[in-house]
Amino acid sequence: MSSWRREARLVALAMGMVMILGIGVGAQEKSPQPAPKSRPGSEYSGMYSFLREGEFVQVTVEDAGRVTGFVSRYGDLESDNGAFLDQFFKTGKLDGNILTFTTEVVHGTTFEFTGTIERGEGKKPRDEAYYVIKGTLKESHTDANKKISSKSREVTFKAFPEDMSPVAPTRD
């Protein structure tokens, strides 16, 4: 056999091996990879009921237990009665299942919450009240004369069913 034929056969054999190995590599790349681990507490992220029908609180658990979100509620002062108000979290933290947050002041009102996030009565993760937020909500009002009045109450906020979550507002 001539040397060029031998070289051609070796090249063909090498190309065949490359193709075979290439197919094997492709198959390995398509094998399922383990899912990345989610952030601790991220399962609690979502929309929850607030004080009145139609009001809600959005909780988003981020890295290192940092919590962002907002309260969407109806105004109850003479100047904003019935208007829909969004109050973003000024601070928020999740430590295990202990949740704390404070909202920014809107129309002289701010909220502070301290409590827990727990499993509720919902059967599946997408059901209403699969998770509930329970604890103490402190509502503070500052009037035109800078007089502050506060009231605290025990609350339970239920997770919305996933298909009923309202659209999140944007910051202006």
Domain ranges (residues) in the chain: 1-31, 42-163
CA distance 102 to 110: 7
Q: Are 131 and 160 in contact (CB under 8 A)?
A: no
DSSP string, 92-123: EEEETTEEEEEEPPBTTEEEEEEEEEEE-S-S
Tell me which residue of 130, 137, 139, 117 sits closest to 160, measured CA to CA: 130
pLDDT one digit per residue (tens) for the chain, 172 residues = 544 444 544 444 444 444 444 544 444 444 444 444 567 789 999 999 999 999 999 999 999 999 999 999 999 877 788 889 999 999 999 999 999 999 999 999 999 999 999 999 999 988 999 999 999 999 999 988 999 999 999 999 999 997 654 555 566 5
Neighbours of 137 (CB within 10 A): 21
| DSSP state for residue 125 in the 8-state scheme | T
Neighbours of 115 (CB within 10 A): 20
Give me the pLDDT at residue 16, please. 47
pTM: 0.71
Q: Which CATH superfamily is domain 42-163 in?
A: Avidin-like (2.40.128.30)
Beta bridge partners of 73: 85
DSSP string, 28-83: HHHSPPPPPPPPTTGGG-EEEE-SSTT-EEEEEE-GGGBEEEEEEEE--STTTTT-
